[in-house]
Amino acid sequence: MEPKPWRDRIRDEDELLEQLNQLASASADRRAQALLDGVGELGDRAAVARDLGISWTAVDKAIKKYERKKASATDAATTE
């Protein structure tokens, strides 16, 4: 059996990378939403960070990135 041509292998790997990027993005969104739920329960981002044993900036950055992504998706939907 002959191995797949290199162009086909590259195409396959590009497709896999795209799938993985989509999965990672969806996971980051779910994580940020969970962080926001934690903020709702504990009161603020610093309390969530302390509870999880991570830095406040990590919590803040994840939430801000998620909020920017949601806002840009909403803006794109309303301008079309």
Is residue 73 in a domain? yes
Residue owning tokens 């969104």: 29
Is residue 6 in a domain? no
Angle at CA of residue 30, ends 25 and 35, nearest 5°: 120
The total of other beta-carbon atoms located within 10 Å of residue 32's CB is: 20
Range of the domain at 37: 29-80
Query: What confidence score (pLDDT) does residue 73 get?
Result: 87
pLDDT tens per residue across span 27-57: 999 999 999 999 999 999 999 999 999 999 9
Mean per-residue pLDDT of the chain = 94
Is residue 23 in a domain? no
Number of domains in the chain: 1
Is residue 16 in a domain? no
Structure tokens at 12: 């396959």
Q: Would the pLDDT of 1 be above 80?
A: yes
Is residue 59 in a domain? yes
Query: What confidence score (pLDDT) does residue 79 get?
Result: 58
Is residue 35 in a domain? yes
Residue among 73, 47, 74, 49 nearest 62 (CA) = 49
Q: Would the pLDDT of 78 be above 70?
A: no
